[in-house]
Structures are given as structure tokens and as C-alpha cells.
Structure 1
Amino acid sequence: MIASLVTDLGPWSWWILAAVLLAAELLAPGVFLIWIGAAALVVGAISLALWGTAVWSWHVQLLLFAVLSVAFALLGRRYYHNNRNSTDEPFLNQREASLIGRTATLEEPITEGRGRIRLDDTWWSVQGEDMPAGTRVRIASAHGRTLTVENIGS
């Protein structure tokens, strides 16, 4: 069935495959299917010119498609690796890391190494040396949802 469909559609079957792959990239973005879709576009463009020739068999088409897919994926990976943009918000999705260096007042005392502080609108679990409530602390590090604090005085 698929073989007869490809035969009936001729070189346009590559264009349809390219459209399906590019649409799939839009639905599930990951910047991978775009390169395979680009390979299908190139094979489709060559197929428009060479479809009736003896040299343009399905073996050659599939081989060229496979080679171009790998080549485009590697070139795309290199392109994105070399063109990373620096951001003005490096901790956008790392809220805990953005808190390092901030100061706060202990809302609850640290007893047996555990306590809580309030930063902005969030309560945070903290660990550090035992300190009474009301002590000014600086956030030294973050490990998941637990912040390590150090005493900077009252």
C-alpha cells in the first residue's frame, strides 16, 4: 500500500513527508525533526528533477535521505552549540540558586540544624548552626528546597 502510494504521488511523496515532519516539530518541539524534515525537502527537490531517470531509484533516494538527515542533524547541533545566547536572567528556572547571597531574618529558630525563613512570599527550610529567631542570616548555598544559611549578626 505504501509503495503504491509513493509510486502514485511520485516526487511529491518526499514533500508530504517533509510537511508531516515539520508539523510534528511544531507539535512536539525539540529541534530535531526539523533537520529530518529539511533532508526530506532536499530529496523532494532533487526528485522533482530526477524522478524519471534510471539512476534515481528508491534505494538511492533512501540512502540520500539517511545521509542528509544525519548530516543536517549534526550541522544543526553544531550551529546551536556555537550560537548560545547569554541571558540577562541566568537563574530563571533555578529559583534556589538565585537566592544565594541574599539576607533574611529567621522567622523560626534553627534548632538541631533546622529552621525556617520567609523570603518574598515563600517559606524556606534552612539548615545551619543553631540560632534564635530574629537572627540575620545570609544564604550560603541551596540544595533543592533547603537553604544553608550563615549568621551575619542581629
Structure 2
Amino acid sequence: MNAFITDLMNTDFLYWHWWLFSVVLFIIEVIVPGTFFLWMGVSALIVGALAALFPSMETSVELLIFSLFSVVSVVVWKKYQSKNPSKTDHPTLNQGGAQYIGRVIQLSRPIVNGFGKEKVGASFWTVRGLDANEGTKVKIIAVETTVLVVEPVDEPVT
């Protein structure tokens, strides 16, 4: 491993090596999305531009700059994303039953000993709540993995 690092440090990287490396990283980003490789590719482009402007820059300095830019850009992007989540017209997409919270349904089967089965949407769900007879109107108040938590209500079915 030490020989590899020594050889790498003694290799002269030209600006176009960095640009080619950035293209490879962009292709990887397309195949494995997640914006991680995108920022590494941008960092490689920047280092390539610096290598073109300063051709005498040593490889160790180029690798250091690439590493720093990569880490900083990924961290900054992740912080930005956490503070500014993407807006969507389907915020509960891929969250199972979260889309059903607040919906009032009429039980087609009773809830016995706190549990029952009910078809909601296109799927059958386990429902948990107070024992209730068939035909009782219940409101879905929470989702716990694959269980809809319900409570009896006097509202119309939605």
C-alpha cells in the first residue's frame, strides 16, 4: 500500500487527468444518484482548472485540494439540503399509510382485543384501537410501521 501511495505522489497529474476524472465521477453520479459523486466531480473540475493555471503545482497539493474541496462541498450540500428540503406535491409518497392519517373509514370487520383488519385504499391493513363493531366509523390517527392506529368518531366517512 505504501508503494502505491508513493507512486501516486510521484505521478504528474495534468489538468486533463483531473477533467477526465471529473467526467468519470459524473457518470458514476448518474448511475448511483445521491449527489455525493457530483460534488467530488465538481472538486476534480476545480483542481483541473487550478492545475491548468499553475502547471508546476505538485501532485500532493492537488490531491490535498481535491480532498478538501470534496469534503467541504459534500458537507455544505448536506447541511443546505437538511435546512431546505425539496418541496413536493406528494410529501407522504413512499411512507406507506402516512397518507391515510386523518381519514375516516367505516369498519367492514370488528376490532376485537384491540386489533382488526381493514381494506384502506388498495391494501389490507392491520388496525389497532378500542374494540369496535363492524360498521363503526373510525379515524386513522397514526401509523406504526404496518399498523393503522384508529379511534372511534362521529364524523362522516371520507
Length-normalised TM-score, structure 1: 0.82
Q: Distance in 1 between matches of 2:112 and 2:62?
A: 71
Deviations 1:63-91 (A, max 9, x none): 22122222222332343334333333221
Distance 1:95 1:18 in 2: 38
8 Å CA contact 2:21, 2:44 repeated in 1: yes
Partner of 2:113: 112
Q: What letter matches 1:49 in structure 2?
A: L
Report the residue type matching 1:25 in the other structure. E
Structure 1 residues 145 and 37: CA distance shift in structure 2, 3 A? same
Q: Measure, in 1, the Cα distance between the counterparts of 2:142 and 2:116.
A: 15
Identity rate, percent: 34
> More deviation in 75-84 or 87-96?
75-84
8 Å CA contact retained: 1:104, 1:117: no
Number of residue-to-residue matches in the alignment:
148
Q: Which has the larger share of strand? A: 1
The whole-number CA distance in structure 1 between the counterparts of 2:153 and 2:65 is 66
RMSD: 2.3
Would you say 1:128 and 2:129 are equivalent positions? yes
Structure 1 residue 108, shift from structure 2 partner: 1.4
Instruction: Give the 3-state SS of the residue equivalent to 1:142 in structure 2.
Output: strand
Q: TM-score scaled to structure 2, two decimals?
A: 0.80
2:52 counterpart of 1:48: yes
**How far is 1:153 from its partner?**
5.0
2:88 matched to which residue of 1? 87
Q: Which runs of 5+ in 1 are unaligned?
A: none
Distance 1:98 1:130 in 2: 24
Q: Which runs of 4+ in 1 moved over 4 A?
A: none
Aligned mates of 2:51, 2:71 — CA distance in 1: 19
What residue identity is the alignment partner of 2:103? R
Aligned-pair distance for 1:100?
Answer: 1.5
The separation in 2 between residues aligned to 1:136 and 1:20, in whole angstroms, is 58
Mind listing any 5+ residue stretches in structure 2 that lack a counterpart? none
The amino acid of 1:67's aligned partner reads L
Q: Distance between the aligned counterparts of 1:123 and 1:66, measured in 2?
A: 50
Counterpart amino acid of residue 109 in structure 1: P
Q: Distance in 2 between matches of 1:122 and 1:48?
A: 59
